[in-house]
Each structure stands twice: as structure tokens, then as C-alpha cells.
């Protein structure tokens, strides 16, 4: 159980709901073969480029180290997916994109398995 100031808790949960929405949008774009779109959403909403959007710097200081690492793993894996999906816009490699997306989802699951916020 990790204690966050109330504003941070509300803000973090809103971000989380956007993470889930982003995953849904990514899957939808992959299903349509819109790899470029899937890549952009992943990078901007979940990837390393999303850190300032999420105010990650402000929130991170309330997180134990393991939780910070889990967050970083998520941002990294999303940026990796973004690269794989960009490549797939040329190669059409859906399987590779799905595998990279599964690695992103696994990072969500890993953090949720370990931490709650109060
Ligand atoms: C660094 C840790 C961490 C990562 C990574 C993470 N989450 Fe969360 N998430 C949490 C915590 C903590 C909660 C609050 C759980 C609780 O207290 O019951 C949460 C809650 C949520 C909620 C519920 C929001 C609400 O309104 O109650 C959703 C949806 C969610 N996460 C989606 C995701 C998705 C999708 C990903 C991956 C793309 C993800 N999260 C990655 C830590 C994380």
C-alpha cells in the first residue's frame, strides 16, 4: 500500500484509465492495419514521450523504488512497441506487433500485482 496525497491519487487514477483507453485504441488500430496510428498512440500516451504529460516527475517521488521501476518498465516497453509498430507499417508484421503489445500489458499487470494506492 502506497500513500499518495489525494490530488495525486485522483490524477494517477485518471491517467490509469487513459492507459486502458490507449491500449483499446492501439488494438483497434492494429486490427485495421493502421500501424502508424498504433505506434503514435503508444509513444505519446504510454511511452517515454508521455512522462511529462503524466506529471511523472511529481508523482514518482511518492513511489517506492520498485514502483518507479515498474513505471519505467511500462514507459520503455511502450516506446519499444512504438518502434516495432512503426516498422510494421512497412513490413506488415502483425505478430511481432502483438507480441510487443503483450509485453506492454505485462508491465501493467506486474505493477498492479504488487502495489495499491491509498
Ligand atoms: C507503476 C505501477 C503501475 C503501472 C505500470 C500501471 N498501473 Fe494501473 N494502477 C496502478 C495502481 C497502484 C492503481 C490503483 C490500484 C488500487 O489502489 O486499487 C492502478 C489502477 C489502474 C486502473 C483503475 C483506475 C481507477 O479509476 O480506479 C486502471 C484502469 C489501470 N490502472 C490501468 C493500467 C494500464 C492499462 C496500465 C498499463 C498500460 C497500467 N495501469 C500500468 C499502478 C500501475
35 CA from centroid of ligand 1 (Å): 25
Nearest to 101 by CA among 113, 90, 111, 109: 109
Q: By the 8 A CB rule, do 101 and 27 touch?
A: yes
Query: In tens digits, what is the pLDDT along the chain, a chain of 118 residues?
Result: 999 999 999 999 999 999 999 999 999 999 999 999 999 999 999 999 998 877 777 888 999 999 999 999 999 999 999 999 999 999 999 999 999 999 999 999 999 999 999 9
Nine cell digits for residue 17: 484509465
Instruction: Please identify which residue in the block is written with the cell numbers 516495432.
Output: 84
**30 near 101, Cβ under 8 Å?**
yes
Q: Find out whether the beta carbon of 10 lies less than 6 Å from any atom of ligand 1.
A: no
Tell whether ligand 1 has an atom less than 6 A from the beta carbon of residue 115: yes
Ligand 1 and 70: CB distance under 6 A? yes
- Rounded Cα gap, residues 7 and 92, in angstroms: 43
Cell for 83? 518502434
Question: How many residues make up the chain in this entry?
Answer: 118
Nearest protein Cα to ligand 1, atom 12? 116
Amino acid at each position: 500500500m502506497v500513500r499518495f496525497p489525494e490530488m495525486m491519487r485522483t490524477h494517477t487514477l485518471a491517467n490509469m484509465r487513459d492507459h486502458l483507453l490507449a491500449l483499446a485504441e492501439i488494438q483497434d488500430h492494429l486490427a485495421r492495419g493502421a500501424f502508424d496510428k498504433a505506434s503514435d498512440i503508444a509513444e505519446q500516451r504510454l511511452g517515454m514521450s508521455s512522462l511529462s504529460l503524466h506529471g511523472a516527475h511529481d508523482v514518482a517521488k511518492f513511489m517506492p523504488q520498485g514502483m518507479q521501476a515498474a513505471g519505467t518498465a511500462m514507459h520503455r516497453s511502450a516506446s519499444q512497441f512504438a518502434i516495432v509498430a512503426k516498422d510494421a507499417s512497412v513490413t506488415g508484421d502483425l505478430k511481432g506487433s502483438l507480441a510487443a503489445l503483450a509485453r506492454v500489458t505485462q508491465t501493467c499487470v506486474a505493477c498492479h500485482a504488487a502495489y495499491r494506492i491509498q
